[in-house]
Chain A
Amino acid sequence: MTEITTEKARIGAPSAQPFIDGFTEEGESLSPINAAGAKAPLAGAAAKSHSHGGGVGVPDSSRAGRLTSYKLADFKPLTGMEEDWRFTPLKRLRGLHSEVLSGAAPTVVVTGPEEVTVESVGRDDRRIGTAGIPEDRVSANAWENFAGATVVTIPSEFEALTEVSIDLEGTSLDPAAQHLVIVAEKFSKAVVVLNHRGSAIVSENVEIIVEDGASLTVITLQEWNDDAVHASSQQAKIGRDAKLKHVMVSLGGDLVRVTPSARFTAPGGEAEMFGLYFADAGQHLEQRLFVDHAVANCKSNVLYKGALQGRNAHAVWVGDVLIRKEAEGTDTYEANRNLLLTDGARADSVPNLEIETGLIEGAGHASATGRMDDEHLFYLMARGIPEDVARRLVVRGFLNEIIQQIKVPSIEERLTEAVEHELALTDN
């Protein structure tokens, strides 16, 4: 594969460039919020006067300036020109951005250790809205329309030995809204698996609360039928010394757009975000993630890998990592790798890294999209392995790197099978 971009910002690296106005050697004044704010063309009142952006003085180009609101009306109707929708074929959203989402949401069945509580609650439950505020129109539309929510709670200090499964089975193609809340209380430890299956047109908000000292793995599997359209905003709030591992796997569906975010609320937090997607002909699989380093001394690591094949197979990956001024001691890395198996497939990959303080451990981002490495094929074939088998081995191996990260044998096995199934459906 061809390396397209690899950049690393490291503290202590000598600056090759002469200083620019408003910059220090450590880059602390990189954000216009802090430096020559009023003078900067993108910042200040000039920008805010025509923006719905969040913070005062935050430029639209910064992830920090993204509009967030519980109200659908605050988001303008989509045109497809918006930064966060420019890769999405709006026509194929089947009304998730424009209709009242009154269809029947996928049924929810939760299984797991009996200590884990499962509640069906109304819109007024106090836990709703604690981990996230919608960041786009489709998410806000679900918020406006959801009837009730499922709240799954891992009690404090409880360590679940088996995973908690949340099975979501779609049975209707009327546009619907869904809401889930997952709470990992203090010092608990659990693996929660979201299984999305069946046929549905659904906008889903998942709130994930990882309380202090808790360790939570959330695995979200999108194995929809071919006609499904799914937008899923999965927002996590990570407490002190808490750890979130988020693994996203998108295989099925016509259009699947998953937007996970991890927000650190106290020091010592850690987020690992992994993704695996396999886009076939005509499929649109989009993933946009956000890691918000808002406090000091947190770590994040992101790796998304995708395989694409067939005409108009389309994958989108946008990784926004924001290291705010307060987030000294941050250590973060994000990478995306795409393997294009045939002509006619398209991968868009945008690794965004914003750094507002230079006092960090490290920050890096990388993206590479390419064809299968001929040297890999040669090595395997030189051992007698026929080309088709070798190609499958390489694809499987490429995606396996994500599966190997899960470290829960039963789920690794299941995902390996799911990938095998995907490989078997196609000629690779």
Chain B
Amino acid sequence: MSTLEIKDLHVSIETEQGTKEILKGVSLTIRTGETHAIMGPNGSGKSTLASTIAGHPRYNVTSGTITLDGEDVLEMSVDERARAGVFLAMQYPVEVPGVSMTNFLRTAKTAIDGEAPKLRTWTKDVKAAMEQLRIDADFAQRNVNEGFSGGEKKRVEILQLELFKPKFAILDETDSGLDVDALKVVSEGVNRAHAEGKMGTLLITHYTRILRYIKPDFVHVFVDGQVVEEGGPELADRLEEEGYDRYAKGAGAAAAPAVAQA
């Protein structure tokens, strides 16, 4: 049983116009076995939260804490966070020219486990995981994300999720740009990883669509760098009906319901 705890997190970035605060005091606790959905309009800071947990150098934490089972995550380098059990499925996975998927997966698995995976079982595991995610076998020989379509890139992110077995998976808009079939395949992958009972999931999404396939235990609504409302799965249903408009500036949860936007 592990706990990822985010307390009063403030994050800013440097822009041409100067320092801009994106997260304005976010608190969130995720435990093994739980699935939390973070929903919110564009620009609300959802992806910033994901990248900050993973340690992207662009984001400066000005105050607040992130801990994993009490360990200070903010003190860790990017690779240390991953080895501690944090996995970020990226919204825009980058292409790494000249590095084959096979080489990359094995190198990463070796780093995370602290020892090289046993060749025979590893090859079998990779093959099986690829099949389940409907990834062509020849992808193993291709360079990391190079020439992959948007959907293929997302499937390969989930492939890594299944192979690396993190304690906490952060899915940064993994559903965006996926057609229904791909969305199902990807969701099944997340559910398989979750079903092993050793993972907590932070699912960041703009749409409620993916929540038909991945059932959240908690839903947090993000607006302007803060959590403005929290609840159970029923909150997602309400968002589906009403959209984000009722959270419009200064309105808050008490404002009159906006026109449904589904």
Contact of B107 among A382, A385, A398, A399 (CB under 8 A): A385
B98 touches A390 (CB 8 A): no
A384-B82 contact in complex given A379-B93, A389-B107, A389-B111, C-beta closer than 8 Å: yes
Contact of B99 among A375, A381, A386, A396 (CB under 8 A): A396
Q: Which residues of A contact B94 (CB under 8 A)?
A: 373, 375-376, 378-379
A384-B83 contact in complex given A389-B107, A389-B111, A401-B98, C-beta closer than 8 Å: yes
Contact string against B for A residues 55-67, beta-carbon threshold 8 Å, 1 for contact and 0 otherwise: 0000000000000
Q: Whole-angstrom distance between the alpha carbons of A96 and B55 in the complex?
A: 53
A387-B96 contact in complex given A382-B55, A393-B104, C-beta closer than 8 Å: no
A382 touches B104 (CB 8 A): no
Tell whether B77 is near chain A: CB-to-CB under 8 Å. yes
Q: Which residues of B contact A385 (CB under 8 A)?
A: 79, 82, 107-108, 111
Tell whether B252 is near chain A: CB-to-CB under 8 Å. no
Contact string against A for B residues 212-243, beta-carbon threshold 8 Å, 1 for contact and 0 otherwise: 00000000000000000000000000000000
Tell whether A368 is near chain B: CB-to-CB under 8 Å. no
Q: How far is the CB of B13 from chain A (nearest CB, A)?
A: 14
Q: Whole-angstrom distance between the alpha carbons of A381 and B108 in the complex?
A: 9
Q: Which residues of A contact B143 (CB under 8 A)?
A: 397
B108 touches A379 (CB 8 A): no
Q: Which residues of B contact A379 (CB under 8 A)?
A: 90, 93-94, 96, 144
A383-B108 contact in complex given A378-B57, A378-B78, C-beta closer than 8 Å: yes
In chain B between 70 and 91, which residues have their CB closer than 8 angstroms to a CB of chain A? 77-79, 81-83, 87-88, 90
A395's nearest neighbour on chain B, judged by CB, is: B98
Q: Whole-angstrom distance between the alpha carbons of A386 and B78 in the complex?
A: 8
Tell whether A394 is near chain B: CB-to-CB under 8 Å. yes
Tell whether B168 is near chain A: CB-to-CB under 8 Å. no
A382 touches B78 (CB 8 A): yes
Tell whether A266 is near chain B: CB-to-CB under 8 Å. no
Q: How many residues of B contact A (CB 8 A)?
A: 29
Q: Which residues of A contact B98 (CB under 8 A)?
A: 396-401, 404
Tell whether A374 is near chain B: CB-to-CB under 8 Å. yes
Q: Which residues of A contact B57 (CB under 8 A)?
A: 374, 378
Tell whether B54 is near chain A: CB-to-CB under 8 Å. yes
A378 touches B164 (CB 8 A): no
A378-B56 contact in complex given A384-B82, A396-B98, A397-B99, C-beta closer than 8 Å: yes
A398 touches B79 (CB 8 A): no
Tell whether A380 is near chain B: CB-to-CB under 8 Å. yes
A393 touches B107 (CB 8 A): yes
A387 touches B97 (CB 8 A): no
Q: How far is the CB of A394 from chain B (nearest CB, A)?
A: 7
B96 touches A383 (CB 8 A): no
Q: Whole-angstrom distance between the alpha carbons of A378 and B79 in the complex?
A: 9
Tell whether B6 is near chain A: CB-to-CB under 8 Å. no
Q: Which residues of A contact B104 (CB under 8 A)?
A: 380, 383, 393
Q: Whole-angstrom distance between the alpha carbons of A120 and B96 in the complex?
A: 47
Q: Which residues of B contact A378 (CB under 8 A)?
A: 56-57, 78, 94
Q: How far is the CB of B62 from chain A (nearest CB, A)?
A: 20
Q: How far is the CB of B95 from chain A (nearest CB, A)?
A: 8
Q: Whole-angstrom distance between the alpha carbons of A375 and B56 in the complex?
A: 9
A387 touches B56 (CB 8 A): no
Give 20 new A-B contacts, CB below 8 A, not counting A384-B164, A396-B98.
Answer: A373-B94, A374-B57, A378-B94, A379-B90, A381-B77, A382-B78, A382-B82, A382-B87, A382-B88, A383-B108, A384-B82, A384-B111, A386-B79, A387-B77, A389-B111, A390-B79, A393-B96, A393-B104, A397-B99, A401-B98
Query: Considering the complex of A and B, which 3 residue pairs feature the smallest CB-CB distances, nearest first?
Result: A397-B98, A400-B98, A384-B82
| 13 A-B residue pairs with CB within 8 Å | A373-B94, A379-B90, A380-B96, A381-B79, A381-B82, A382-B54, A382-B90, A383-B108, A383-B160, A384-B108, A389-B111, A390-B79, A394-B99
